[in-house]
Amino acid sequence: MDLTEYFDAVDFSQLNEDTRLSPTLSFGTAIEKYTLACSGANMGNADVAIVGVPFESKNNEVEKSTVPDSIRKELYQLTVIDKIKVIDLGNLKQAQSIKGNFYALRDITDYLTELDITVLVLGGSEDFASGICQAFRGNQFFTFTAIDAFLDLRKGKEAYDTHNYLSRVFSKQPDIFQFSLIGYQRHYVPVKLFDKTKGVGEHLSLGRLRDSIVLAEPVFRNSDFVTVDFGTLKYSEAKGKQNLPNGLGGEEICQLSKYAGLSRRLKAFALFEVIDEMSAEGLNVSLAAQSAWYFIEGVLQRSHANPENEEDFVVHKVEIWQVEPPLVFYQDNATGQWWLRLQTKGNSFVFLACSEQDFLEATHNEIPEIYLKYVQKIDEILK
pTM: 0.95
Q: Is the pLDDT of residue 227 over 80?
A: yes
**If you ran DSSP here, which 8-state letter would residue 74 be given?**
H
Reported as a single tens digit per residue, the pLDDT across 6-15 is 999 999 988 8
Reported as a single tens digit per residue, the pLDDT across 288-304 is 999 999 999 999 999 98
pLDDT at 66: 93
Q: What is the 3-state secondary structure (H, E, C) of 107-157?
A: HHHHHHHHCCCEEEEECCCHHHHHHHHHCCCCCCCCEEEEECCCCCCCCCC
- Whole-number average pLDDT of the chain: 91
| Peptide bond preceding 325 in cis form (omega within 30 of 0) | yes
Q: Is the pLDDT of residue 345 over 90?
A: no
pLDDT at 17: 75
Q: Is the pLDDT of residue 159 over 70?
A: no
Q: Is the pLDDT of residue 330 over 70?
A: yes
Domains of the chain, by residue range, sit at: 3-300, 310-382
Q: What's the fold here for domain 3-300?
A: Arginase; Chain A (3.40.800)
The pLDDT-based confidence of 360 (bands split at 50, 70, 90) is: very high
Mean pLDDT of 325-347: 90
Reported as a single tens digit per residue, the pLDDT across 25-52 is 999 999 999 999 987 778 888 999 999 9
The pLDDT-based confidence of 151 (bands split at 50, 70, 90) is: very high
Close Cβ partners of 106 (under 8 Å, ≥ 6 residues apart): 131, 132, 134, 135
The pLDDT-based confidence of 309 (bands split at 50, 70, 90) is: confident
Nearest to 217 by CA among 303, 154, 90, 280: 303
The pLDDT-based confidence of 176 (bands split at 50, 70, 90) is: very high
Q: Is the pLDDT of residue 131 over 70?
A: yes
- The span from the CA of 150 to the CA of 110, in Å, is 28
